Amino acid sequence: MLWGEARGYGGHTLAQEFNKLVSVTGASAQNLLTVLTANGFTGSSIGVELRYKAPALQSLFTGSSSTVDNNTGDELDAGAWSAERATGMMGDVIDPSQKYLYLASTASVGIFFRAK
């Protein structure tokens, strides 16, 4: 587990969460929803929080296109993390099917995704 889980009264989880360090194939854009489901996530694809932690030795590039790469993606420096939040109301959501990850070579990426 990378980040602490949200817990409700009596220890019950408040939302569906994915919180793992996963291997992401390098040299081509990888769809975030595909990565999540390949690593056991079965929850809703309507997200309200997303965090990435880049590998220690290389940058992670993210974007909304299957053509994202080191020239077109938003760069997250090696070892850094980023967070995105949405309200989950009136269309303000995070859709992992519309997000892509790119690494120059295969490496482990920390991913936290909280579904509504």
What the block records as the tokens of 61 is 């590039």
What the block records as the tokens of 45 is 């694809």
Residues 29-70 pLDDT 10s: 999 999 999 999 999 999 999 999 999 999 999 999 999 999
Report the alpha-carbon distance of residue 31 to residue 62 in Å, rounded.
10
Amino acid at 98: Q
Q: Tell which residue, 102, 105, 99, has the closest CA to residue 113.
A: 99
Ordered domains of the chain (ranges, CATH):
16-115 (2.60.120.770)
**Residue where the block lists tokens 């053509």:** 67
pTM for this one?
A: 0.86
Residues 9-23 pLDDT 10s: 444 445 699 999 999
